[in-house]
Structure 1
Amino acid sequence: MTDHHPEPRSAPRGLPWLRFLIVGLLIAADLWTKHAVFAWLTPVAGQAPSEGVEVWITGRLRYEVLGDFLGFMLSLNKGAAWGFGDSMPHLLVGGRVVASIVLAVLLWRADRRHPWTLAALALILSGALGNLHDNLLQPAAPDHPYGAVRDFIHVYFYWWKYHFPTFNVADSCITVGAVILIVGGLFSRAEEPAVAGAATEPGTDAA
């Protein structure tokens, strides 16, 4: 008589559509903040800048949020972080398209019993799509086949006279999501030996 082995059940996914609703809300927040800040700070010919906006040491218009440390400053980035990849636009945008597809599949198939993984994937996917929107749907930048990504959050470390690269909400989502994945992975590895040890303790085997 042959043994009957039950078919392995797929991981519970809960309500996958809810995950993509969250992604959509994060993308909406990214696009709205880009539009609002750029409309507010973009100088209009013949008009003075908005109240509180000044020309900063970089020569750009800047609005202080937390003094010199944090402010809004407009920047159009044709590359990735720190402007990397601006000389390879097709590779950069193509990579973003592929990454977005892979992340969407992973988010759809992810196990709902791992909420931190779900949160990380949703954050990274929303950030990737938010910046991809600018590449594909914004007017092409000069001498560039795609639109530039709109950045506006500026951080300045006065003590080191260092300007952190200007970023946006999408970049923040990607960074936070990546940190969650890394920290979650470290905690998972730390828990594995403890779980394995508990499983091999005397008296844990089934009679």
Structure 2
Amino acid sequence: MIFYYAIAALVIGLDQLTKWLIVKNMELGEHIAILDPYIALLSHRNRGAAWGMLEGKMWLFFIVTIVVVVAIIYFFHTEGKKDQLLGVSLMLLLGGAIGNFIDRLLRGEVVDFISVLIPVIHYDFPIFNVADAALTIAVILILLHVVFDEKKKKKKVS
């Protein structure tokens, strides 16, 4: 069980370290090309949720995050420990949620800094951070878990 919580702690630590480095070493709005024009560091702040939605509604984020964190921990202890993929997914979700929650508590905004341009469709993806990436990966892994779990159930029935 400590292995799983270590994943969440690693996400939180890496998220907070990278955000601290961005805040200390880059001016707001500063852009550093990494793989020009596709990947860059871009010092940005978000006072809302994904894509800036619900800007200025910090009280809502506090309540939702606390409920979500409690639900993730509960679900991990009731279901997540039974399946490694689900357990890892839930801990990535927990780490991502707490990482952005720390920003909201301490800064009143979330530090975002990864800018990606998707060349095939020329889409400038919303700027994100390590916590956001962990949340996205977690959702993908949970979806994979659901697909694999359904296949297992179908095999048992046949």
TM-score by length of 2: 0.91
CA distance 1:111–1:159, shift in 2 (3 Å): closer
For 1:106 and 1:192, the matched residues in 2 are separated by 20
For 2:71 and 2:45, the matched residues in 1 are separated by 27
For 2:34 and 2:8, the matched residues in 1 are separated by 27
Matched, 1:21 2:6: yes
C-alpha contact 2:58 2:104 (8 A) present in aligned 1: no
Residues 11-67 of structure 1, C-alpha deviations (whole Å, 9 max, x = no match): xxxxx2332222112100100011112222127xxxxxxxxxxxxxxxx32111111
- Residue number in structure 1 paired with 2:24: 39
Match among 106, 112, 122 for residue 151 of structure 1: 112
For 1:158 and 1:102, the matched residues in 2 are separated by 38
CA distance 1:159–1:110, shift in 2 (3 Å): closer
Match among 71, 87, 95 for residue 102 of structure 1: 71
SS of residue matched to 1:112:
helix
Residues 119-174 of structure 1, C-alpha deviations (whole Å, 9 max, x = no match): 10000000000000011122xxxxxxxx1000000012356553211000000000
C-alpha contact 1:71 1:154 (8 A) present in aligned 2: yes
For 1:159 and 1:189, the matched residues in 2 are separated by 33
Is the radius of gyration larger for structure 1 or structure 2? 1
Cα offset, 1:88, TM superposition: 2.9
- Residue number in structure 1 paired with 2:86: 117
When structure 1 is superposed on structure 2, of 104-113 and 73-82 the one drifting more is 104-113
CA distance 1:111–1:97, shift in 2 (3 Å): closer
SS of residue matched to 2:81:
coil
Cα offset, 1:87, TM superposition: 4.5
CA distance 1:78–1:111, shift in 2 (3 Å): closer
> What residue identity is the alignment partner of 1:38?
V
Q: Which has the higher contact order (CA 8 A, sep 6+)?
A: 2
C-alpha contact 1:19 1:107 (8 A) present in aligned 2: no
> What residue identity is the alignment partner of 1:33?
T
Aligned residues: 158
Match among 179, 192, 196 for residue 140 of structure 2: 179
TM-score by length of 1: 0.70
For 1:18 and 1:92, the matched residues in 2 are separated by 28
Cα offset, 1:72, TM superposition: 0.3
- Residue number in structure 1 paired with 2:41: 72
% same residue: 26
> What residue identity is the alignment partner of 1:30?
D
> What residue identity is the alignment partner of 1:34?
K
Return the structure number with greater helix share: 2
Runs of 5+ consecutive residues of structure 1 not aligned to the other structure: 1-15, 44-59, 139-146, 198-207
RMSD over aligned Cα atoms: 1.8
